[in-house]
Amino acid sequence: MSSRRALIGRLYASSQRALRGYVLRLVASDDTADEIVQEAFLRTYENVNRLETPRAFLFRTARNLASSSRRTTRAQKTETLGDLEPLGVVSSEGPETSAMAEEELRLLQQAIAQLPTQCGAVFSLRIFHACSYKDIAERLRISPRTVENHIARALRETNEYLRGHTR
């Protein structure tokens, strides 16, 4: 047990700064980088007796954790469609605003029509049919990552279009 601690202590002393710098370049957040470095050292400590090259395991683990963190962050950003609400496109008002809501819907449809065909199809399935990314990917026979990219592009471009055509 003490040899494992000593090995991790030496590894920490020789690698902590380099590992943190490496992870920070991958995630661009001090807090996230610190959490990933801590988790990578913990996992290395837990597996050190089975490892031939603990330093390589440490860096590979940190890289994998950083990749996972970036995927999670990206998914959270594109999963929320609340970006359309401040533009007044999604209305929860009563019937007295139906004419306005129709105009907003028309503008949204025009914005979607400006998108490339597949991007517009993906976005329409998400917005008008509330399909999940997985459902969209299966329907259109594309990868979930491609769906994610289309949604991100569609949000950017429709928001830009709507800003130019409202108020």
Domain, as residue range, for 103: 81-165
Q: What is the average pLDDT across 123-138?
A: 87
Query: Does 92 lie in the same domain as 74?
Result: no
Query: Does 92 lie in the same domain as 65?
Result: no
- Residue 62's pLDDT band (cuts 50, 70, 90): very high
Res 10: pLDDT: 92
Q: What is the average pLDDT across 12-25?
A: 92
Query: Does 74 lie in the same domain as 33?
Result: yes
Which range has the worst mean pLDDT, 21-30, 40-49, 158-167?
A: 158-167
Where among 78, 98, 118 does a domain terminate?
78
Domain count for the chain: 2
Provide long-range contacts, Cβ within 8 A and 24+ apart, for 18-26.
Answer: 19/58, 19/59, 19/62, 22/59, 22/62, 22/63, 23/62, 23/65, 23/66, 26/63, 26/66, 26/67, 26/70
pLDDT tens-place string over residues 109-128: 888 899 999 999 998 888 88
Res 38: pLDDT: 94
Q: What is the average pLDDT across 79-86?
A: 50
CATH number at 134 reads 1.10.10.10
- Name the one residue in this structure whose structure tokens are 């031939």: 52
CATH number at 16 reads 1.10.1740
